[in-house]
Amino acid sequence: MTDTELIPAPRAVEGPPGPGAALGRDTTLWAAPGTETTERWLRGALGAALGLPLRPGPQDGAGVRLLLDDALAPEAYRLDASADAGVEIRGGDAAGVFWGAQTLRQLIGPDAFRRAPVRPDTVLTVAPRVVEDAPRFRWRGLMLDVARHFMPKDGVLRYLDLMAAHKLNVLHFHLTDDQGWRVEIGRYPELTRTGSWRARTKYGHRASPLWEDKPHGGHYTRDDIREIVAYAAERHITVVPEIDIPGHSQAAIAAYPELGNTDVVDTAALTVWDTWGVSENVLAPTDATLRFYEGVFEELLELFPSEFIHVGGDECPKAQWRSSPAAQARIRELGLADEDELQSWFIKHFDRWLTARGRRLIGWDEILEGGLAEGAAVSSWRGYAGGIAAARAGHDVVMCPEQQVYLDHRQDAGADEPVPIGFVRTLEDVYRFEPVPSGLTREEAAHVLGTQANVWTEVMENQARVDYQVFPRLAAFAEVAWSALPAPDARDFTGFERRMAAHYRRLDALGVGYRPPAGPLPWQRRPGVLGRPIDGPPPNK
Ligand code: ACM
């Protein structure tokens, strides 16, 4: 194992000469107060993988030692491994110690990524190393859309493990959309009874003529959510829930027809949407709608302790509001200029509502249209522009431009990607993604909290498809989010690919169904089996 094989790359690593630290059945674990999450993870995950009991031992022994160190920044760590002193991980906080343990796992080798020992009673060696490391961004996220295709709870827990292995620390949980409502809300049982199932599903992208004629659905109970949030917290991952309003709401309207624009649509006849795209069925701008969603968010705040709560705000078609006499009357009554301001009225209401409860609102960059709510943060998805405007106005930003880090887009120009939607975004494209746009002052750039990769699941029917789209690109993304990389053109992609050779062995041990490494896929080497080439980006949703 050489030091250059760590992903994401650490700030600094040295490999002093000499023998490495041996890890075996007698290796002990000493954990200072405040490092318990890592202590539990080392025994439960690493210990289980390698058959190491990691019994409690002394602080001055040559086993594994975990401690906090005030001299280090939050999330920073220092790892020392040597034959004499064993392995010591110091963290600036509990999270830093945990990230240090993730590095230790990579230093041990691929077997450390399994769930049970495949070579029992082997003495493992960690080469002598001093690793000093700290993240570039405090928001290193993955957005999972569990609305378009439901990901059962076990899959979410698995993705939290995969995030932890890549030092990612925010799960943006897209829980509602036109095609499904995935979180139990006690006071509104129809949201999941009706809203979490659809009768059939468009197969492929929006323009596809194919349907899968069987029901699709599922949801998380409140205890499932509590489990997911606690499992994430053990791994120093924050779960930020998203309830998308006022658009992307057809599943909610199918469950509670009074939420829709009943003066222009027979909302009682609506079903959970069974195709892709952006539904015209949006929320009615009534006080009753606000009260309803206050009820939803009240329950959400009990389940999710995150500072930020995501309210969506993207892609809200305005046609129904334009034609609805009730919506037009509302615009006049509120003294608003137009439908864009009506959308802002929704968002501003929940900005005040969340702020009064000690939380912060975050929304997609459309929330800039019609005036940004005072304390709101922005997920910049339609390129950099929204994020730049928000940062210049003093708002916090998470950079997740579609052109760079939407992992539903295909990874290769060949027409035989499983569902070859969207732009081509290769592993190298993701590796060269820069979250902080040039042109921001230092002060403005400080508003870029970080970045996230977004996984929209219209064309990912199951976990195997999610794995294929997400990996290996998430490894490149993790390095962008964590490591102190130079400017995009100066990034050593060849070196990254070399390190990926080791990382693929880790992903193999984890059971990740990644897209095979760059270059033609095996069947593409045979002439005559390629499908129709695709000119330009086809519709992706
Ligand atoms: C989005 O992709 N509609 C945020």
Q: Which CATH number characterizes residue 248's domain? A: 3.20.20.80
**Upstream peptide bond of 472 is cis (omega within 30 degrees of 0):** yes
- 17 C-alpha to center of ligand 1: Å? 50
Are residues 445 and 426 both part of a single domain? yes
Are residues 61 and 201 both part of a single domain? no
- 381 C-alpha to center of ligand 1: Å? 6
Are residues 187 and 108 both part of a single domain? no
Atom of ligand 1 at shortest range from CA of 312: 4
Last residue of a domain, one of 461, 485, 509: 485
Contact yes or no for 74/130 (Cβ under 8 A): no
- The domain in which residue 236 lies consists of 139-276+291-315+364-485
Give the C-alpha distances (Å, rounded to integers) separating 256 from 262, 270, 292, 301, 341: 11, 10, 10, 22, 25
Contact yes or no for 365/380 (Cβ under 8 A): yes
- 211 C-alpha to center of ligand 1: Å? 23
In short, whether 406's Cβ falls inside 6 Å of ligand 1 is: no
Are residues 298 and 424 both part of a single domain? yes
In short, whether 227's Cβ falls inside 6 Å of ligand 1 is: no
Contact yes or no for 180/251 (Cβ under 8 A): yes
What would the pLDDT profile of 219-270 be if each residue is shown by its tens digit?
Answer: 999 999 999 999 999 999 999 999 999 999 999 999 999 999 999 999 999 9
Distance separating alpha carbons of residues 99 and 501, to the nearest angstrom: 21
The answer, yes or no, to whether residue 86 has pLDDT greater than 50, is yes
| Residue 142 pLDDT class (50, 70, 90 cuts) | very high
Amino acid at 349: H
| Residue 455 pLDDT class (50, 70, 90 cuts) | very high
Does residue 91 belong to any structural domain of this protein?
yes
Does residue 536 belong to any structural domain of this protein?
no
Residue nearest to atom 3 of ligand 1 (CA): 314
| Token couple for 404 | 């760079």
In short, whether 408's Cβ falls inside 6 Å of ligand 1 is: no
In short, whether 346's Cβ falls inside 6 Å of ligand 1 is: no
Are residues 187 and 114 both part of a single domain? no
To test the pocket of ligand 1, the residue of 240, 282, 315, 452 to mutate (highest count of ligand atoms within 8 Å of its CB) is 315
Concatenating the DSSP letter of every residue in 76-134 gives -EEEEEETTTEEEEEESSHHHHHHHHHHHHHHH-GGGGSSS-SSTTPPEEE--EEEEE-
| Token couple for 135 | 């993240």
pLDDT of residue 4: 57
Distance separating alpha carbons of residues 282 and 324, to the nearest angstrom: 12
Percent of the chain clearing pLDDT 70 (strictly above): 94
Number of helices (H) and strands (E) in the chain: give both, helices first.
Answer: 18, 23
| Residue 533 pLDDT class (50, 70, 90 cuts) | very low
The answer, yes or no, to whether residue 534 has pLDDT greater than 50, is no
The DSSP code for 220 is: B
- 233 C-alpha to center of ligand 1: Å? 26
pTM of the model: 0.95
Does residue 539 belong to any structural domain of this protein?
no
pLDDT of residue 228: 99
- Which residues lie closer than 8 Å to 230 by C-beta, 6 or more apart? none
Are residues 309 and 431 both part of a single domain? yes
Catalytic center residues? 177, 248, 315
In short, whether 314's Cβ falls inside 6 Å of ligand 1 is: yes
Distance separating alpha carbons of residues 107 and 464, to the nearest angstrom: 27
Concatenating the DSSP letter of every residue in 3-48 gives GGG-SSPPSEEE--SS--EEESTT-EEEE-TT-HHHHHHIIIIIIH
To test the pocket of ligand 1, the residue of 179, 242, 248, 364 to mutate (highest count of ligand atoms within 8 Å of its CB) is 364
Does residue 283 belong to any structural domain of this protein?
no
Atom of ligand 1 at shortest range from CA of 364: 4
What would the pLDDT profile of 102-127 be if each residue is shown by its tens digit?
Answer: 999 999 999 999 999 999 888 899 99
pLDDT of residue 420: 65
- 402 C-alpha to center of ligand 1: Å? 8
What would the pLDDT profile of 439-454 be if each residue is shown by its tens digit?
Answer: 999 999 999 999 999 9
pLDDT of residue 524: 56
- 338 C-alpha to center of ligand 1: Å? 22
- 33 C-alpha to center of ligand 1: Å? 42
Strand-pairing partners, residue 144, are 173, 455
Strand-pairing partners, residue 217, are 197
Are residues 114 and 174 both part of a single domain? no
| Residue 399 pLDDT class (50, 70, 90 cuts) | very high
Distance separating alpha carbons of residues 474 and 160, to the nearest angstrom: 13
Output the domain CATH number for residue 34. 3.30.379.10
Does residue 87 belong to any structural domain of this protein?
yes
| Token couple for 436 | 């902080």
The answer, yes or no, to whether residue 413 has pLDDT greater than 50, is yes
| Residue 536 pLDDT class (50, 70, 90 cuts) | very low
pLDDT of residue 528: 43
In short, whether 458's Cβ falls inside 6 Å of ligand 1 is: no
Q: Taking the CB of residue 179, how many other CB atoms lie within 10 A of it?
A: 28
Does residue 514 belong to any structural domain of this protein?
no
Percent of the chain clearing pLDDT 90 (strictly above): 86
Residue nearest to atom 2 of ligand 1 (CA): 381
Last residue of a domain, one of 77, 103, 133: 133
Contact yes or no for 343/284 (Cβ under 8 A): no
- 110 C-alpha to center of ligand 1: Å? 36
pLDDT of residue 19: 85
The answer, yes or no, to whether residue 293 has pLDDT greater than 50, is yes
Does residue 336 belong to any structural domain of this protein?
no
Are residues 302 and 387 both part of a single domain? yes
What would the pLDDT profile of 10-35 be if each residue is shown by its tens digit?
Answer: 999 998 888 889 999 999 999 999 99
Contact yes or no for 402/384 (Cβ under 8 A): no
Are residues 119 and 152 both part of a single domain? no
Q: What's the number of domains the chain is made of?
A: 2
How remote is the C-alpha of 334 from its chain's centroid? 37
Which helix or strand (DSSP H or E) is residue 180 part of? Answer: strand 180-181
Atom of ligand 1 at shortest range from CA of 248: 3
Distance separating alpha carbons of residues 312 and 452, to the nearest angstrom: 15
Average pLDDT value for the chain: 93
The answer, yes or no, to whether residue 48 has pLDDT greater than 70, is yes
The residue count of the chain comes to 541
> What's the rounded mean pLDDT across residues 157-168?
98
Are residues 147 and 97 both part of a single domain? no
Name which of 29-43, 142-156, 333-347, 405-419 the model is least confident about: 405-419
Q: Please give the torsion angle defined by the CA atoms of residues 324, 329, 334 and 338, in that order, rounded to the nearest 10 degrees.
A: 50
| Residue 535 pLDDT class (50, 70, 90 cuts) | very low
Are residues 32 and 174 both part of a single domain? no
pLDDT of residue 1: 39
Are residues 64 and 109 both part of a single domain? yes
To test the pocket of ligand 1, the residue of 173, 240, 400, 456 to mutate (highest count of ligand atoms within 8 Å of its CB) is 456
In short, whether 315's Cβ falls inside 6 Å of ligand 1 is: yes
> What's the rounded mean pLDDT across residues 337-351?
95
Does residue 243 belong to any structural domain of this protein?
yes
Last residue of a domain, one of 452, 485, 518: 485
pLDDT of residue 415: 64
How remote is the C-alpha of 420 from its chain's centroid? 22
What would the pLDDT profile of 163-194 be if each residue is shown by its tens digit?
Answer: 999 999 999 999 999 999 999 999 999 999 99
Atom of ligand 1 at shortest range from CA of 456: 2
Q: Taking the CB of residue 19, how many other CB atoms lie within 10 A of it?
A: 11
